[in-house]
Chains A and B, each alone.
Chain A
Amino acid sequence: MAVQKLPLAKALNESLRKALETDPKVLVMGEDVGKLGGVFRVTDGLQKDFGEERVIDTPLAESGIVGTAIGLALRGYRPVVEIQFDGFVFPAYDQIVTQLAKMHARSLGTVKLPIVIRIPYGGGIGAVEHHSESPEALFAHVAGLKVVSPSNSSDAYWMLQQAIQSDDPVVFFEPKRRYWDKGEVDPEAIPGELHKARTAREGTDLTLAAYGPMVKVCLEAAQVAAEEGRSVEVLDLRSVSPSTSTPSKRPWRRRAGSWWSTRHRCSSGRARRSPPGSPSGASTTWRPRCCGWAATTPRTRRPGWRRSTCRVSTGCSTPSTARWRTEERREHRDPRVQDAGRR
């Protein structure tokens, strides 16, 4: 395949095709993925080319689909499961959180479950209830899972292959609102790391951090801001969890009584109660401002550690009074916090 301008859905199709060609253990399974080619045509033509035993039409039973994938992964396969719409994932939630996320730790590393769960998500296509959810936060806070979301065709092509090659379970959120947006895909390019953010637009006055379908919205907002004389940086987080440090080099700035660093909207266009990302990686507190969220003074969040809780770790992984006091004393030595206190 040469460099082409492809819709995001077609980029995913090519990515799956490449994965099926490369590794005979890769399977694609889900509702209507075979004969129909998927309701969004992401799996179009794959069953015809690779057969019914590798591209499998499943019954309408999400819990069973994920459970079957777990069984196949235990036997050495690399299942790529499609959940037809975001709102349909909830019957499978127990299988994903209780079994898929925890099996590796439960077996002390003996068992690997290299499963990708593809989920079209987000609003903006005029769909009804159950078809416009944003459930990524429900998975982002589960240790053992990796949660990613591409925002463009190139990332969709490469990130899906990287997710399939990963030995960890990956929940792959596909922005359905962007399925028909075209972007260049270069099959010879060197892809970025799966869990690393990228700077989509450089800027100096403000940073917008987003993932999935909202990256395009933020880029459009940054363009409008540029026409008004403001320089806005846009970060594409790419990985919801685990997330690495964002590449923004812009320092915290004080503006109108509060510290500003990032303003973020969730994929459905409504302001979130809390920003996405790894709960251990977040380093700001947020408050509502002008239909978005603005960072206030940079504080350190100290949730539980990113691991499944067992009998021994319950006491250690839960934030304790002593731990909070330790962090509190450390923050009081933080010059940024001291500076804010003087203003």
Chain B
Amino acid sequence: MPDPDHMAMFEHVYADGHALVDEERAQFAAYQASFADGEVK
């Protein structure tokens, strides 16, 4: 079974959502983008 996209782990944390989760998603996206091959270490 293939692994889902890493960014999917920020989905469905809360039904109503929260800015904190959005902030963490953005942080992780920036962190992921900082790797030359895009692979999180």
Q: Is B3 an interface residue (CB 8 A)?
A: yes
Query: Is A274 an interface position by the 8 A CB rule?
Result: no
Instruction: Considering the complex, give the chain B residue whose CB is closest to the CB of A243.
Output: B20
- CB pair B9 A313 closer than 8 Å: yes
Cα A167 to Cα B4 with chains together (Å): 26
A112 to B8, CA, bound (A): 18
Binary CB contact string for chain A from 256 to 275 against chain B (1 if under 8 A, 0 otherwise): 00000000000000000000
Q: Is residue A229 within 8 Å, beta carbon to beta carbon, of the partner chain?
A: no
Given A109-B15, A112-B15, A306-B13; A322-B20 close (CB under 8 Å): no
Assess whether B16 is interfacial by the CB under 8 Å rule. yes
Instruction: Give the residue of B14, B15, B18, B24 whose beta carbon is less than 8 angstroms from that of A305.
Output: B24
Taking CB atoms, residues of chain B closer than 8 Å to A306 are 13, 20-21, 24
Q: How many residues of A contact B (CB 8 A)?
A: 35
CB contacts (< 8 Å) of A243 on chain B: these are: 20
**What B residues does A146 contact at CB under 8 A?**
14, 18
Cβ–Cβ contact B12 & A278, under 8 A: no
Per the 8 Å Cβ criterion, residues 283-317 of A in contact with B are 305-308, 310, 312-313, 315-317
**Cβ A312 vs Cβ B9 within 8 A:** yes
Q: How far is the CA of A109 from the CA of B13 in the complex (A)?
A: 8
Q: Which residue of A lies closest to B8 (CB)?
A: A312
Q: Contact mask A161-204 → B, CB, 8 Å, 1/0?
A: 00000111000000000000000000000000001000000000
- Which residues of B are found within 8 Å of A107, using beta-carbon distances? 12
Q: How far is the CB of A79 from chain B (nearest CB, A)?
A: 15
Chain B 4-34, CB-CB to A under 8 Å as 1, else 0, gives: 1010111111111011110110001001001
Rounded to whole angstroms, the CA-CA distance of A322 and B41 in the bound complex is 6
The reply to whether A305 and B10 form a contact with Cβ atoms under 8 Å apart is yes
Residue pair A307, B15 in contact (C-beta under 8 Å): no
A144 touches B4 (CB 8 A): no
A residues contacting B by CB (< 8 A) are: 104-105, 107-109, 112, 114, 143-144, 146, 166-168, 195, 242-244, 278, 280-281, 305-308, 310, 312-313, 315-317, 320-323, 326
* Beyond A146-B18, A242-B19, A243-B20, 4 additional pairs, beta carbon < 8 A: A104-B13, A242-B21, A313-B9, A321-B41
